Amino acid sequence: MTAPRYDERMPRSNRQRTSRRAVYATLRRKVLTLEFPPGAALSENELAASLGVSRTPVRESLILLSEEGLVQVFPQVGSFVSRVDPAKVADAQFLREAVELASLEDLPGLPAELDPELVDELRRNLEEQRRPGLGLEDFFELDEAFHQTLLRLSGHGSAWATVVSAKGHLDRARRLGLYDTATSSGFAAQHVEILDAVLAGDIPLARTAMRTHLRAVFDDVERIRARSPELFATDSGTVPVRRNIVVWE
């Protein structure tokens, strides 16, 4: 007959370090940091060669990224980094706001019931955010951790994956413009406001603060768009362009 395997807990044996995961992480990072700018052609063959792997993990990663909306694949034509589509950015904003605001509703009524470990984590995170001379990348990381931990606090940590997908589009849009530390320090203050409200058990206030915060992030994107409209795709009918075939000599 059959026999059971793996009784309970295979902590990281599941999340194995596979080539595909590495490639996916690399490609996603390069897309989000604009190292691969919107509209850029992503040849499976080229990527495979430059990453030192075969087409298979590259291809599988591109499929995942296309599901995420960060990449568009045109069969027999090419794969391209998605244009920064304001509609998609707005969708991402809507989704993120819906999830994060709803999670606040599910916080325990009494602040005493909050997981003290997570609360500590949030406090330490906010302290880090206040550290002078903090780099932009560092702030991005802390920001991510803050929002994720907040979700865990309400017991909806698993919804983070959805937020991440949405955040991808937002972050990419934000990086299009200059994004100074002054702005980020403002965000840090908003984070404090949110946590204070949560710890005070004032959920409506927390919601308001969170909404204000997320809208500020979105407005940041809109500001960038107003200043540099050419960076955004105006028509959703994208225009793939076959890359130059450059032959030297």
Report the interface residues with DNA, using CB under 7 A.
2-3, 5-6, 13, 18-20, 42-46, 53-57, 59-60, 73-79, 242-243, 245
Residue 102 makes contact with its own copies by CB under 8 A: yes
Residue 25 makes contact with its own copies by CB under 8 A: no
H or E segment and range at residue 61: helix 55-68
Task: Please give the backbone phi and psi of residue 74, each rounded to the nearest 5 degrees, phi first.
Answer: -110, 110
Residue 109 makes contact with its own copies by CB under 8 A: no
Binding site partner of 46, from DNA, its own copies, none, Cβ cut-off 5-8 A by kind: DNA
The one-letter amino acid at 14: N
Binding site partner of 235, from DNA, its own copies, none, Cβ cut-off 5-8 A by kind: its own copies
Task: Tell me which stretch binds its own copies (CB under 8 A): 99-107, 130-138, 176-184, 191-199.
Answer: 99-107
Q: Six-digit token pair at 68?
A: 């995420």
Instruction: For its own copies, give the closer residue by CB, 105 or 127.
Output: 105
Q: Measure the CA–CA gap between 195 and 180, rounded to whole angstroms.
A: 23
Burial class (CB in 10 A: 0-12, 13-18, 19+), 112: exposed
Task: Please give the backbone phi and psi of residue 34, each rounded to the nearest 5 degrees, phi first.
Answer: 70, 10
Task: Tell me which stretch binds its own copies (CB under 8 A): 6-14, 28-36, 173-181, 218-226.
Answer: 6-14
Q: Which of 53, 101, 199, 205 binds its own copies (CB under 8 A)?
A: 101
Task: Please give the backbone phi and psi of residue 81, each rounded to the nearest 5 degrees, phi first.
Answer: -65, 130
Give the total of residues touching its own copies (CB under 8 A). 46
Q: Which of 6, 110, 112, 226 binds its own copies (CB under 8 A)?
A: 6
Among residue numbers 27 through 66, which ones bind its own copies (CB under 8 A)? Answer: 60, 63-64
Q: Six-digit token pair at 49?
A: 């060669």
Nearest alpha carbon to residue 25 among 67, 2, 57, 73: 57
Q: Measure the CA–CA gap between 146 and 159, rounded to whole angstroms.
A: 14
Residue 203 makes contact with its own copies by CB under 8 A: no
Instruction: For DNA, give the closer residue by CB, 73 or 118.
Output: 73
Residue 158 makes contact with its own copies by CB under 8 A: yes
Nearest alpha carbon to residue 90 among 236, 189, 238: 236
Residue with tokens 């499929």: 63
H or E segment and range at residue 187: helix 181-199
* Residue numbers at the binding site for its own copies (CB under 8 A): 1-10, 14, 16, 18, 60, 63-64, 67, 72, 74-75, 77, 87-88, 91, 94-95, 97-99, 101-103, 106, 156, 158-159, 162, 235, 237-244
